[in-house]
Structure 1
Amino acid sequence: MSKLGTLGARLHRGEIGYDFVGKRKIWYGLSILITITAILGLTVGGLNMGIEFRGGAVFTTEKTSVSVDQAETYAEEASGHDAIVQKLGSGGLRIQIAGIDTGKSDEIKNVLAKDLNVDPEKIAADLVGPSWGEDIANKAWQGLVIFMILVVIYLAIAFEWRMAVAALVALIHDITITVGIYALVGFEVTSGTVIGLLTILGYSLYDTVVVFDSLKEQTKDITKQTRWTYSDVADRSINGTLVRSINTTVVALLPVAALLFIGGGVLGAGMLNDISLSLFVGLAAGAYSSIFIATPLVADLKEREPQMKALRKRVLAKRAQAAAQGESVEEPVVEEEFDDDEDATPAVVGPRNQPASRNRGRGRPSGKRR
């Protein structure tokens, strides 16, 4: 078995673990810091909205020897507006001019063809009216709000309202960070960006629901025992699904990174930049929020319940009594290096089944009687 597979099995059985919930204030503080930075980026720089939302025209040319900077100058002189020019993998140019009157597109195209020394018939023009762009923006916001409402309703029914609230906070956290990164780096917000945002919300929700499902299963009769608090079992749920979350996130990030750094950076494909950045940042933020934000927040909310307060009091009293009598106290979570040392002392994270006997069958070849 590989080291990662062995690690995942040991985490799932509770033999090793990390105290995610106990250190939740660190994760909250880090998320608040990142979120504030993202909001400042939005406030100061704002979003670079594409023509889908502002209206304008996009001209795509055939292969030309004119540089991007020179083409940008030609486009601004021809239109009287700021222009964004991108080099395409085919050697052509993608010239985007926002805020122009679509009725002047033919005139601008002819001027560009002359300046770039290309055939006007070989320049493709895509026009977007400002009213259509505004309608697209409104539809995008409506879709996002409807998605959030459906998520809260589903999680409240399938699990409970506290988990629904925690998942909603995690989703808002992911969206804010992703949009803030767009504002900070100046990438253009297009319809591809909206598609990417909705996609990463699904990924983030998937990881969160996996942990919530494990937590729900392990806390069915939690008040009938006095060994573990709700936070202890929440830690087990995170640790038990940790490697799975890491694996799914890394596998999803690899092709997205190829789109962002190779497709967008090397080949210069405009739409790939828009959708791949939102996917890359959103997937990473979603994996982080599922582990470090959503479940610890659920534990915080649950620990406020009278039943869970009473349970914590009983658990701590029992541990204190055991320590006073010199008995061995099972700590719910023990931080240790995630290695494959078979002699390491196991740590228990939440309830788990103990083997019936480790000495049974020893000394017998293949379990046969002599």
Structure 2
Amino acid sequence: MFQLLKNDISINFMRWSKGAFLLSALMIAAAVATVSTKWLNWGLDFTGGTLIEVGFEQPADLPQIRQSLEANGFGDAVVQNFGTATDVMVRLRPRDNMNGEELGGKIIEAIKSGTGQNVEMRRIEFVGPNVGDELAEAGGLAILVSLICILLYVSVRFEWRLAAGAVLALAHDVIITIGIFSLLQVEVDLTIVAALLTVVGYSLNDTIVVFDRIRENFRKMRKGSPAEIMNASISQTLSRTLITSGTTLFVVIALFTQGGQMIHGFAMALLIGITVGTYSSIYVASALALKLGITREHLLVPEVTKEGEEFESMP
């Protein structure tokens, strides 16, 4: 599994490329099947609903408010501070059998009975599903446009085979993350879209570091097959990849466990995306470029003939 190449220990990652492709294909197929059957659990940002602003005399206890609402049949309510510690915003899914005033009254009564405080309702609004549809479309377009821009950038910066490998690996990360969210029915809101875009940027940065070393080694190492050079390049950047991913995951795990309900989904998306992205940077992106037939000649700098040389070489 280990071989000595240019005085460096090189791990034969490409040896496991077929197994990695099979695993990735199974995960993507499972993700597509899950999304097709269970779809996504869209949050209020996408489905629309009722927004209620509530004022307290003293700083609000958000966990206590959530418990009181859940006890009164409003377990889907999203509760968060709005401005100061005494201002609270409650968001709920649409209720077909209840108008806005009736719903607001029930929410106020549930909060009063659960907290024992005097509560003032300051504003109540209804957000229609049309706004949610526009947000869903804009979020999907943002991810798609980012992948296309990445494809163009890497094609110019490196080579189209590497660009294809990078973009397919990024799509691989996003699809698997979305599939896990569909499987667990985690509520998807705008913070999840932001997390997916963050995962795309993080995974791309890791992949670019590996590709830069691959290009450098293709030009420096005159001996060795493309697979051996890729193994050496990934091995040389492996410590950087693991240290960066490890330190980032420490922070994300802290957010996931201690960050509270409001950023739980965001932290979960980062946790899954960074883990899958690290795997794809090592086993998927480079292996895909290798399968597309990349060779040393594709990455060599073309020689530029100096002006007049062609005339000097003529008989």
Give your verdict on TM over 0.5: yes
Q: Match for residue 154 of structure 1?
A: 153
Among candidates 41, 53, 60, match of residue 48 of structure 1: 41
Q: Secondary structure at the match of 1:32?
A: helix
Give the Cα–Cα distance (whole angstroms) in 2 for the partners of residues 56 and 110 of structure 1.
16
Q: Secondary structure at the match of 2:174?
A: helix
- 1:18 aligned onto 2:11: yes
Q: Match for residue 245 of structure 1?
A: 241
Among candidates 280, 289, 302, match of residue 271 of structure 2: 280
Q: Return 5+ residue gaps in structure 2 as ranges.
A: 55-59, 299-315
RMSD: 3.2
Give the drift of 1:129: 2.3
Q: Match for residue 107 of structure 1?
A: 102
Question: Residues 218 and 95 (structure 1 numbering): CA distance in 2 closer, same or farther, change over 3 Å?
Answer: same
- 1:30 aligned onto 2:23: yes
- 1:72 aligned onto 2:70: yes
- Residues 220-239 of structure 1, C-alpha deviation per residue, up to 9 Å, x if partnerless? 376xx4x3101100111100
Q: Match for residue 140 of structure 1?
A: 139
* Residues 325-336 of structure 1 aligned to structure 2 (within 5 Å): none
Amino acid at match of 1:274: G
Q: Match for residue 63 of structure 1?
A: 61
The TM-score normalised by the length of structure 1 is 0.68
Question: Residues 85 and 146 (structure 1 numbering): CA distance in 2 closer, same or farther, change over 3 Å?
Answer: same
Q: Match for residue 181 of structure 1?
A: 180
The TM-score normalised by the length of structure 2 is 0.79
* Conserved 8 A contact 2:245-2:278: yes
Give the drift of 1:98: 1.8
Q: Secondary structure at the match of 1:219?
A: helix
* Residues 86-97 of structure 1 aligned to structure 2 (within 5 Å): 96-97=91-92
Query: What percentage of aligned pairs have identical amino acids?
Result: 28
Q: Which structure shows the bigger proportion of residues in strand conformation?
A: 2
Amino acid at match of 2:200: L
Q: Secondary structure at the match of 1:136?
A: helix
Give the Cα–Cα distance (whole angstroms) in 1 for the partners of residues 255 and 287 of structure 2.
33
Q: Match for residue 368 of structure 1?
A: none
* Conserved 8 A contact 2:252-2:271: yes
Q: Match for residue 220 of structure 1?
A: 219
Give the drift of 1:249: 0.7
Q: Return 5+ residue gaps in structure 1 as ranges.
A: 1-9, 77-82, 309-370
Among candidates 248, 252, 259, match of residue 255 of structure 2: 259
Give the Cα–Cα distance (whole angstroms) in 2 for the partners of residues 145 and 64 of structure 1.
37
Question: Residues 263 and 66 (structure 1 numbering): CA distance in 2 closer, same or farther, change over 3 Å?
Answer: closer
* Conserved 8 A contact 2:65-2:111: no
Give the drift of 1:179: 0.7
Question: Residues 13 and 261 (structure 1 numbering): CA distance in 2 closer, same or farther, change over 3 Å?
Answer: farther
Q: Secondary structure at the match of 1:220?
A: helix
Q: Secondary structure at the match of 1:302?
A: coil
Task: Select between 63-72 and 289-298 the one with higher mean Cα deviation.
Answer: 63-72
Q: Secondary structure at the match of 1:84?
A: coil
Question: Residues 162 and 64 (structure 1 numbering): CA distance in 2 closer, same or farther, change over 3 Å?
Answer: closer
* Conserved 8 A contact 2:219-2:296: no
Give the drift of 1:159: 0.5
- 1:98 aligned onto 2:96: no
Give the drift of 1:122: 5.4
Query: How many correspondences in the alignment?
Result: 283
Question: Residues 143 and 307 (structure 1 numbering): CA distance in 2 closer, same or farther, change over 3 Å?
Answer: closer
* Conserved 8 A contact 2:14-2:231: yes
Give the Cα–Cα distance (whole angstroms) in 1 for the partners of residues 4 and 101 of structure 2.
64
Task: Select between 210-219 and 89-98 the one with higher mean Cα deviation.
Answer: 89-98
Q: Match for residue 200 of structure 2?
A: 201
Give the drift of 1:166: 0.4
Q: Secondary structure at the match of 2:11?
A: coil
Rg larger in 1 or in 2? 1
Give the Cα–Cα distance (whole angstroms) in 2 for the partners of residues 294 and 243 of structure 1.
18
Give the drift of 1:99: 3.0
Question: Residues 249 and 120 (structure 1 numbering): CA distance in 2 closer, same or farther, change over 3 Å?
Answer: same
Give the Cα–Cα distance (whole angstroms) in 1 for the partners of residues 15 and 7 of structure 2.
16
Question: Residues 200 and 12 (structure 1 numbering): CA distance in 2 closer, same or farther, change over 3 Å?
Answer: farther
